[in-house]
Structure 1
Amino acid sequence: MDLNTVTEIRDARVPAPWRPGDAWLGGGTYLFSEPQPQLRRLVDLSRTGWTPLELLPDGSLEIAATCTIAELSRFAKGLGVGAAPLFEQCCRAFLASFKIWNMATVGGNLCNALPAGPMISLTSALDGECLLLGQDGVRRRVRVADFVTGAGRKDLAEGELLRSVTLPARALGCRTAFRQASLYGLGRSGVLVIGALDPVDGSMNVTVTASTVRPVRLWFPLSPTAGVLRAAIGAAVADDEWFDDIHGLPEWRCHMTLHYAEEIRRELEGVAK
């Protein structure tokens, strides 16, 4: 879609004061998908030269905000860690053509903060941490599970930039389980639940996305019982936090979340034994 209110595209490598009507341009798959009448200038990140994915000396994985879904998928195929299958599962959870895969970015998916964003699912389940850069040069770090605060809402100040997401080595070594539901065969995710079992201490976490307006990550020191897991989800998700749109009623999303969470609990409990 043409953005006929935009009068300038600025290279992000050239510093300039942030002003009203500015927006960061990564892959542009959201920006160019619908009218953006409030925009006047796009700040283009495509030539920043950031390394898409990098394994750090401590074993953690840094994913640049400009990393595309296609790059993430290719990289994960050679990633020799327990959680490697989860990357492809979340990449495939996109309702997207190959064109979108090659343009859409991990950072864009997080910053859109849509409940069905599968990069939110992936990075919150693996305890990811966002690196945010302010216009004043201040850097701050926020866990992905706290970065997305609601449907379309995120902890991002005016002009602040999501630079990267780092996944810790401990989380990458976890055994994972994945469940997704949609009302249609190729529809947007209505429910997406991920479980992760830590082989070091036997702890388990269960992360709920798509069915809720924000990611909900629950941690248990040991595999919980069915009742404990169900009660924990009920306590963590308020009645008005079950998402409600054309892709699923809150009652259905809640039911399927509890159903899938129990399946995941049993699957990972079996692995732990």
Structure 2
Amino acid sequence: MDSRDVAMGLMFLSQTAVGVLGNFSLLYYYLVLFCNECKLRSTDLILRHLVMANSLVILSKGIPQTMTTLGLKHYFNDYVCKFLFYMQRVGRSVSIFITCLLSIFQNITISPMNSCWKDLRGKASKYIGFSISLCWILYMVVNSIFPLQIFSKWSIKNLTKKTNYGYCFSQSGDKISESVYAALFVFPEVVFSMLMIWSSGSMVLLLYRHKQRVQHIHSIKVSPRTSPESRATQRILVLVGTFLSFYTLSSILNVCVALDFNPSWWLVNSNSLISMCFPTVSPFLLMSPDSILSRLCF
């Protein structure tokens, strides 16, 4: 086995282990809150589903990439490849939607009473569960249309237009299928990304105006403490900024892999590493030691 494969396999193994540990730790935290009959906030419901979607991406991409770079790719037949691609697409799509939903909901929560969001503040939390459930069902149904386009290299030998993802090959469909795919996946992802950018900009502006208003009521000797809403908003802004950075880079690499039917070893593995960065680091960005300890103790 080549030394570069061993090094890359250890990188995938480390990234997968850290991602699984972080996401399952956060899920365990919410399970403890549920068992202790703690009152869960609306953002907790959103974050639970975000963790589940990110875990789906890590398990369906990190494990096969680790096995492939370590020389165990012969375990992936046609059906396994279809299932892995299906889980990756569902997890990625749901993660994008839920991150956008989290950003917009927090923007509504911290908006002033005289803003245009005042009528939605009381109604938004009522429709969060329905929106998330509809998102899961919709993407699970829509993604079930495309597994027939996924082929493994063990069962398909004579394809001329197929993209190598390391552990599986993906056949490029005709123009109609690609147009349908773009309409159902690419366009909503672009819209959700634009909404996140707009919502994040609005929250930054709101926090800046709030800081300017309260500065004059604090004396010079007393340092003002940040409110819980501001701290939560800042964590969400960091989360959204991290997501947009990794998502943009991953999308660029995905286009490069899709356009090149025989992509290089470095391009394929770099794309996989970048695509798992956000699911890996997101639970650590969401963990707040002070809030976790306070909610577990009281």
- Counting helix residues as a fraction of each chain, which structure ranks higher? 2
TM-score (norm 2): 0.22
Which fold has the larger relative contact order, with Cα–Cα distance below 8 Å and residues 6 or more apart in sequence?
A: 2
TM-score (norm 1): 0.24
Based on CA coordinates, which of the two structures has the bigger radius of gyration?
A: 2
- Counting strand residues as a fraction of each chain, which structure ranks higher? 1
